[in-house]
């Protein structure tokens, strides 16, 4: 299955312009070992197909920034950290508490109509232990091939088209020019090769013992395997860094 990097959902851009400071701060503390039980953001943990990337990132919206944690204690500790340092607010998804999600009867009917591709959650690749977290993010959103087909079911369920139009269950439509955003799902080719249009791909240290692949691409995107460089890579420079790069430094006083 061919996959490629896209930028994140329109609502994430409009509300945060990329990761919010609170999210950046929690991820930084995770990488530095100052907060335990922090797994990662929904954007970090999912992989999407190129042709579905825009739709799925719009479907997730600002929830791409939700941080998955091992349990609610880890989430509570991170919230206390944010409060003490007055950094901001973050949405957490503790694996021991979030509920499994079942689509509504109306959404199931839409998913079987002409033009329907499937439920958003089913089009994302992720570790099975995160199934409930992704269910929480996408709910029963259905991905539809076009606005024309989606309009036939407007007001009957939440839908997103391949072009990124959002149709809410209440009857509202959101669409227009393609969004320019700063958060995206990780993406791969069917061969298992990771593709990125950005200069650096970061693998959280707690998810990989091999550190981070720092990639400086030419005009064509770099192709890299998770943990090793693909033979067909077109990058000019590839190196293994012992520590992952972190977002713009945030002064943290108390943990």
* pLDDT value of position 255: 64
* pLDDT value of position 31: 95
Low-confidence residues in the chain, pLDDT < 50: 1-17, 189-203, 208-246
Cβ neighbours around 119 below 10 Å, total: 22
* pLDDT value of position 197: 35
Tokens 């990097």 belong to residue: 5
Longest dimension (CA), the chain: 55
Name which of 35, 6, 3 is nearest 197 in CA terms. Answer: 6
Tokens of 38: 């922090």
CA-derived radius of gyration, the chain: 19
Q: Which helix (H) or strand (E) is 204 found in, with range?
A: none
* pLDDT value of position 252: 54
* pLDDT value of position 23: 96
CB-based burial of residue 219 (10 Å sphere; 0-12 exposed, 13-18 middle, 19+ buried)? exposed
**Over the stretch 208-240, which tens digit does the pLDDT of each residue have?**
444 433 333 333 333 333 333 333 333 333 333
Q: Which residues pair with 167 in a beta bridge?
A: 159, 173
Query: All domains of the chain, ordered by start, with CATH?
Result: 10-241 (3.30.70.1620)
**Over the stretch 72-84, which tens digit does the pLDDT of each residue have?**
999 999 999 999 9
Name which of 114, 179, 184, 170 is nearest 145 in CA terms. Answer: 114
């Amino acid at each position: 299955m061919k996959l490629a990097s896209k930028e994140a959902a329109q609502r994430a851009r409009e509300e945060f312009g990329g990761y919010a400071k609170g999210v950046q701060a929690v991820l930084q503390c995770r990488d530095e070992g100052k907060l335990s039980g922090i797994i990662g953001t929904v954007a970090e943990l999912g992989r999407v197909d190129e042709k579905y990337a825009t739709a799925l990132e719009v479907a997730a919206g600002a929830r791409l920034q939700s941080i998955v944690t091992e349990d609610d204690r880890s989430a509570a500790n991170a919230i206390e950290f944010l409060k003490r340092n007055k950094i901001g607010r973050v949405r957490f998804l503790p694996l021991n508490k979030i509920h499994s999600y079942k689509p509504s009867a109306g959404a199931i009917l839409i998913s079987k109509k002409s033009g329907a591709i499937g439920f958003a959650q089913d089009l994302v690749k992720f570790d099975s232990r995160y199934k409930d977290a992704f269910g929480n993010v996408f709910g029963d959103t259905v991905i539809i091939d076009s606005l024309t087909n989606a309009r036939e079911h407007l007001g009957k369920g939440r839908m997103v088209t391949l072009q990124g139009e959002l149709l809410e269950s209440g009857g509202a439509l959101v669409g227009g020019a393609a969004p320019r955003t700063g958060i995206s799902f990780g993406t791969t080719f069917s061969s298992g090769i990771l593709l990125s249009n950005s200069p650096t791909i970061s693998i959280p240290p707690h998810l990989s013992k091999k550190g981070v692949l720092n990639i400086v691409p030419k005009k064509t995107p770099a192709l890299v395997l998770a943990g090793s460089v693909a033979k067909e890579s077109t990058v000019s420079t590839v190196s293994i860094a012992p520590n992952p790069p972190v977002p713009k430094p945030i002064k943290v006083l108390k943990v």
